[in-house]
Structure 1
Amino acid sequence: MNEDRVADIVGQWRRERPDLDPSPLLVIGRIQYLAEVLDAALRPLFAAAGLGNGEFDMLAALRREGEPYALTAGQLSERMLVTTGAVTKRVDRLIARGLVARSVSEVDARGRVVGLTPSGVTLTDRLIEEHLANEAAILGGLTDSDRKALERLLAKLTRTAGS
């Protein structure tokens, strides 16, 4: 599908239902299409590293925290915008791979934290370099001005759609 297909769909609706304004499809339809295209372009890097959906997100969330690269399940849930149940499943898979470990919290002996292992730090640092290069390549057709405008508009849409 190319971007003209969305415009074609809008044109069809305008013809068939002139009483409706189908113009939101020009934005929402393209965002939905792009989400699929971007997922297909970004996931292979993580799959090649043996990571399932969301597992790199967890590694990245831990790495972004800085040393000691550790968070509670609740903190991970907040940072990744997923349930604690989803966090637990991902943690278990990453423990099995030796990329994260659970330990007792230094702040609360009853609590547990999840932290990156040295292998997890190494893998995350390698993958984030490749991931950001991939994203930059995807955006390569946009000028700096285009990117800044798109960033601003997407931030605005994120605020308004989420309220």
Structure 2
Amino acid sequence: MDSIRRIVRLLRVSARASERLVGISGAQLFVLQQLAEAGACSIGELAEATLTHQSSVSVVVSRLIERGFVSRRASEVDARRAEVTLTPAGRTLLSRAPPMAQAHLISGLRRMDVAERGALAQGLSALVREIGADAQAPTLFFEDDAPPRRRKRTQNHEET
């Protein structure tokens, strides 16, 4: 239990720092950071980079597009392929953002021996089944806990 507590605390503290320092969820910042490393890429490629399901990444990317940090466009190489890329606003936000714990977690997992990773995956899967959480879709860390966005007021005071 202590190890699980340490990991969850690390992730929670990292997510709160993201929200406090740059105003977006930890999951959104993690996706931005992975996109900065990968360059223009598809949602599927971004899902691979974040070790997350495409549907979860797609939801986060949609929120980032709404905020103007990411854009979606047809690939220059293959117009049938959609790619996402950072906008100048996304790059600016990243320049003042803290590193995310998710990146450290993924790096640590990749450094583990294959047998250790397999045993960890099996053990965690068994635990998830035993506590009845296997029916829940796995999202990016704390994305479902993201604070609601503040709405801007227009000049005629209608909410947008």
Asked whether the two chains share a fold, i.e. TM above 0.5, the reply is: yes
SS of the residue corresponding to residue 63 of structure 1 reads helix
Letter of the structure 2 residue corresponding to residue 41 of structure 1: V
* Aligned position for 2:76: 106
In structure 1, C-alpha distance between the alignment counterparts of 2:29 and 2:115, rounded to whole Å: 25
Determine whether 1:55 maps to 2:32. no
* Native 8 Å contact 1:45 1:131 kept in 2: no
Letter of the structure 1 residue corresponding to residue 83 of structure 2: V
Letter of the structure 2 residue corresponding to residue 57 of structure 1: F
* Native 8 Å contact 2:15 2:27 kept in 1: no
* Structure of higher CA gyration radius: 1
Q: Which runs of 5+ in 1 are unaligned?
A: 1-28, 136-150
- Across the aligned residues of Structure 1 and Structure 2, the Cα RMSD in angstroms comes to 2.6
Change (3 A) 1:40 1:153: closer
In structure 1, C-alpha distance between the alignment counterparts of 2:54 and 2:64, rounded to whole Å: 15
* Native 8 Å contact 1:73 1:113 kept in 2: yes
* Aligned position for 2:66: 96
* Aligned position for 2:43: 73
Choose the corresponding residue for 2:96, options 110, 118, 126. Answer: 126
In structure 2, C-alpha distance between the alignment counterparts of 1:125 and 1:76, rounded to whole Å: 20
Identity among equivalent positions (%) equals: 30
Choose the corresponding residue for 1:155, options 111, 114, 118. Answer: 111
Letter of the structure 2 residue corresponding to residue 131 of structure 1: P
In structure 1, C-alpha distance between the alignment counterparts of 2:25 and 2:17, rounded to whole Å: 11
Task: Name the structure with the higher helix share.
Answer: 1
Deviates more, 1:40-49 or 1:76-85: 40-49
> Per-residue CA shift, 1:83-111, capped at 9, x if unaligned?
11111111110011100000110121101
Q: How does 1:132-143 map to 2 (within 5 A)?
A: none
> Per-residue CA shift, 1:57-89, capped at 9, x if unaligned?
110011112xxx311111001001111111111
* Aligned position for 2:17: 45
SS of the residue corresponding to residue 78 of structure 1 reads helix
Name which structure has the greater RCO, CA cutoff 8 Å, separation 6+. 2
SS of the residue corresponding to residue 113 of structure 1 reads strand
In structure 2, C-alpha distance between the alignment counterparts of 1:118 and 1:95, rounded to whole Å: 12
